[in-house]
């Protein structure tokens, strides 16, 4: 019998820890064909999402998917992220959080065919966080 993944539980726990302590939880995601995010914000196959309560509507961190609505450029967008593609969850303010290895779908998935916008066409992505172990 395969044990269920601890990843969604850890994501929920760090999200709660961030919220309880006044931090802004950010989610780093490797984008593949299953990921529903605004493609114009994807850089090098990755996107960083603010999943704080003030930035999301109808946030659901399930065992297989993270789903919510968020505003991008003033426009409400539906976001759907497979839990397996989450590479980190961390507090924006101090970088404390947890990193994960991304899990990809089978080889029939178009994981390498994510359309991205060149960096010179949009604002630069936020600086890469420094992750610390939360004890």
Domain ranges of the chain: 7-103
**Among 94, 121, 125, 132, residue whose Cα is nearest residue 31:** 125
Helix (H) or strand (E) holding 17: helix 7-20
Residues 18-60 have pLDDT tens digits of 999 999 999 999 999 999 999 999 999 999 999 999 999 999 9
Residues 71-116 have pLDDT tens digits of 999 999 999 999 999 999 999 999 999 999 877 664 444 444 444 4
Residue 32, both tokens = 């593949």
Work out whether strand 46-50 and strand 75-82 pair parallel, antiparallel, or are unpaired.
Answer: unpaired
Q: pTM of the full predicted structure?
A: 0.77
Distance CA 123, CA 120 (A): 7
Distance CA 84, CA 28 (A): 11
Q: Which fold has domain 7-103?
A: SH3 type barrels. (2.30.30)
């Amino acid at each position: 019998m395969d044990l269920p993944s601890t990843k969604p539980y850890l994501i929920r726990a760090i999200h709660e820890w961030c919220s309880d302590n006044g931090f802004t939880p950010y989610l780093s995601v490797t984008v593949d064909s299953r990921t529903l995010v605004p493609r114009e914000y994807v850089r090098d196959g990755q996107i960083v999402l603010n999943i704080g309560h003030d930035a999301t509507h109808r946030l659901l961190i399930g065992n297989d998917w993270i789903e919510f609505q968020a505003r991008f450029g003033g426009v409400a967008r539906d976001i759907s992220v497979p839990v397996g593609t989450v590479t980190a969850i961390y507090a924006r303010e101090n970088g404390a959080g947890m990193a994960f290895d991304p899990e990809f779908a089978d080889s029939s998935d178009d994981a390498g065919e994510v359309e991205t916008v060149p960096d010179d066409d949009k604002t630069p992505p936020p600086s890469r966080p420094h992750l610390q172990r939360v004890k």
